[in-house]
Amino acid sequence: MPRCAESIGDRTPKRRRRAKKETRRKWTRVSKMFGPSKSHQDQTRIVRRLRRKITEEGEGSPTPAENKNKGLLQQDATKEPPSSVDVSTGDLRKRNLKKEDEDIEEPQFRNRRKNTRKKTKKTKEMDSQRAEFQEKYTELHLLGKGGYGSVFAGHREVDKLPVAIKHIPTEKVDRKHNDENGREMALEVAIMLKLKNLTGSSSGQLATVSLLDWYELEEELLIVMERPTPSQDLNDYLDENGGCLNEEDAKVILKQLVEAAIQLQDANIFHRDIKLENVLIERSSEGLQAYLIDFGLSLFDHGRKFTIFQGTHALQSPEYRTQKKYFAGPTTVWQLGVVLFEILHDTNFDTNKFLKKKLKISKRLPKNCHDILTRCLKTHPEERPTLEELLNHAWFS
């Protein structure tokens, strides 16, 4: 006999036996609660027995109290016998019956009622948050779209401050974090909150966009961030400048990214996906300012080994390809080397092609520039410099 047929045959009798047992238990509870009923003749017999007992025990002239009791008994004997349940006892039994009904009720129905109440309260809170967002911000055109959500331009109503509004579907928010107060929130929000707290406490400017607000709605998470203007991601910026930049601009951008990476490292934050599309370039009279953006794949790092890759597959570090493991520091240095390679070469980087020598670092680069790029893109992670050593490289002098 096939295995599935055996399983079906075994389950059906068990379900029937369980149903019979539950029905029997319900009836037992009701029967026990009410107890055996007393007939009209039984109650009349009890009253007569009590009256006969008083008559047999009494001797001599009865006292006024005895006459009173005897009169009460005679009066009771002429009345209709009381019902099997008096008023006070009936009230009590009604309360007990209600309690028994609640006990008999299936647990899933009780839980469903509780969940409905909770859901209603949560839905009201979400509606309130959406109303607050719509009152506080105006959303404009689409800036970009990816696998984890969409980003729109917008501004804050009170002062017209330019903002970026990230929409993440609820089903994509699968990583949660509990803060020190036990409050649960999306991990991306928790990381950006920590970065916001670093502003002003760290040396130098924090090269990441600041979190302004976030709203947890039923169908999506909204993250509102500052939006430097005019700005564009580094990939678009390279396209507008012929596919690559001169050495001086490359040096300015990479130094800012290394400083930002050190600040993240000090805060135990691992970005995991540093690439051209996740670097924002702001142009101003003071020069170029680079910002790290999109912390959707980021997490808190405490020096542990990672065995699950998340990021851009074409830019994977060699150690993950060969050993299926990687660490935050060496991987971040590798990713910064990839960014520098694409800034200086009019071509897209690919780890597999680089390891097979189909992509090579240009020998026409200045010596120090060639050296720092070669060190960042070492195949073995232990041969790469640390972020601090990278910042102290002669190329930045």
For the question of residue 42 being annotated catalytic, the response is no
Helical pair 328-344 and 367-376, crossing angle rounded to 10 deg: 140
Q: Which of 227, 246, 262 is the last residue of a domain?
A: 227
CATH number of the domain encompassing residue 333: 1.10.510.10
304, two tokens: 């542990």
Are 251 and 288 contained in the same domain? Answer: yes
- Distance (Å, whole) CA 293 – CA 211: 11
Q: Which of 204, 227, 250 is the last residue of a domain?
A: 227
Q: Is pLDDT at 118 greater than 60 in this prediction?
A: no
Are 233 and 218 contained in the same domain? Answer: no
Q: Is pLDDT at 177 greater than 80 in this prediction?
A: yes
Are 218 and 329 contained in the same domain? Answer: no
Q: Do 295 and 302 form a contact (C-beta atoms < 8 A)?
A: no
Q: Is pLDDT at 311 greater than 70 in this prediction?
A: yes
237 CB-near residues (< 8 Å, 6+ apart): 281
Q: pLDDT tens-digit profile of 314-325?
A: 999 999 999 999
Tell me, what's the pLDDT at 19?
39
Total domains in the chain come to 2
102 within domain boundaries: no
CA quadruple 236, 242, 244, 246: dihedral positive or negative? negative
Tell me the average pLDDT of the chain: 79
108, two tokens: 């899933």
Nearest of 47, 40, 46 to residue 73 by alpha carbon = 47
Angle at 233 between CA 227 and CA 237, to 5 degrees: 125
Are 359 and 252 contained in the same domain? Answer: yes
Are 142 and 246 contained in the same domain? Answer: no
Q: What is the DSSP string of 241-284?
A: TTT---HHHHHHHHHHHHHHHHHHHHTTEE----SGGGEEEEEE
Are 205 and 245 contained in the same domain? Answer: no
Are 212 and 308 contained in the same domain? Answer: no
- Residue among 273, 346, 350, 371 flagged as catalytic: 273
345 CB-near residues (< 8 Å, 6+ apart): 244, 362
79 CB-near residues (< 8 Å, 6+ apart): none
Q: Which of 227, 242, 261 is the last residue of a domain?
A: 227
Angle at 251 between CA 346 and CA 314, to 5 degrees: 45
Are 213 and 240 contained in the same domain? Answer: no
Q: pLDDT tens-digit profile of 227-274?
A: 999 999 999 999 999 999 999 999 999 999 999 999 999 999 999 999
40 within domain boundaries: no
Query: What average pLDDT does this structure show over 223-230?
Result: 94
Residue bearing tokens 């009209």: 40
Nearest of 162, 168, 192, 163 to residue 179 by alpha carbon = 192
Are 384 and 365 contained in the same domain? Answer: yes
Quote the longest CA-to-CA distance of the chain: 138
193 within domain boundaries: yes
Are 253 and 393 contained in the same domain? Answer: yes
Q: Is pLDDT at 152 greater than 70 in this prediction?
A: yes
CATH number of the domain encompassing residue 205: 3.30.200.20
Q: Is pLDDT at 203 greater than 60 in this prediction?
A: no
5 within domain boundaries: no
197 within domain boundaries: yes
Tell me, what's the pLDDT at 198?
77
Domain span including residue 206: 121-227
Are 125 and 211 contained in the same domain? Answer: yes
pLDDT-above-90 percentage for the chain: 57
356, two tokens: 């097979």
Q: Is pLDDT at 33 greater than 60 in this prediction?
A: no
Q: Percent helix, strand, coil in the chain (nearest 5)? A: 55, 15, 30
Are 141 and 178 contained in the same domain? Answer: yes
Nearest of 219, 213, 127 to residue 163 by alpha carbon = 213
